[in-house]
Structure 1
Amino acid sequence: SSFETTEEEPRIRNEEWQTVRAFLMEKLGKGTSGSLYISGVPGSGKSFIVQQAIASAQRQLFGGTSKKRTKVVHINCMSLQDPRRIFGILLEKGFGKHCTSNAFEKDHHYALSHLRKAVSAGGARKKAPGEMLVL
């Protein structure tokens, strides 16, 4: 799901927002990879805080331009029956590849090899957008 973002800092879970935002600013600013584990009971504001932190980091790093350099991919990993399905979903949502064949569903190595090719092709282009994955 998607939340409306504002330019104000959230009034709830501000400490968590600061942590997520600082992590994003560091990784996006330096162009490095990283992972951040966020947990909590359903309805505690995890998705909201992450959405707000992403919007804030993009505004600060890339200004108010409508052309964002960061692609945000949202995947609810709790909805996956098989965690290996993540590779096909990344191809679909992140790179616009259609992964409807049984090969993608049944063979995660097949999907992973296609994902690696897509990532390599994107990195070879000059001015390629930064990629960010939100799970």
Structure 2
Amino acid sequence: MNLEIIPHRGVEPFRFGVTEALVEDHLGAPKFRSKRPFPLGAVELEYPGLAFAFDANGCLTQIGFDKHFNGRLTLNGIDLLEDPAALNKLLKLDSDSHLWVGFVMLMGLGMRLGGFHEVADEGRTVSIFERGRYDTKRPRFTAFDPDSHGP
């Protein structure tokens, strides 16, 4: 499965706002289904290399990808999980970058990156999210200086 990110909208056919049923129609039953503690009533569906987070209304708000994702995940031709220069290329597309709890947050692109700016045992992770999802967390963000970080 090859997916192209549409910032703040998702990937086809998984656009933010779709229901659990649409995800299951395309991918079958998830490996894990779990209730998330916040917000109350939220659900997460997990498949190998993919995690889908839904809000309390059952609408998709975030999609996560990791090294077990079977396919290519791209944005503007950048292979996010394989290209060693992906972070530098993404930073040229997004001037609203920050650090938060170990993740690089690219707010203009609606992306949360793990393992891109430092070596991570689990490898690279990419989460894409709808506009506004992390706005309440912004006061806890710190400036990201790419020159002071590197895998």
Q: Give the TM-score taking structure 2 as reference length.
A: 0.28
More strand, by proportion: 2
Q: Give the TM-score taking structure 1 as reference length.
A: 0.30
More helix, by proportion: 1
Q: Which has the larger radius of gyration?
A: 1
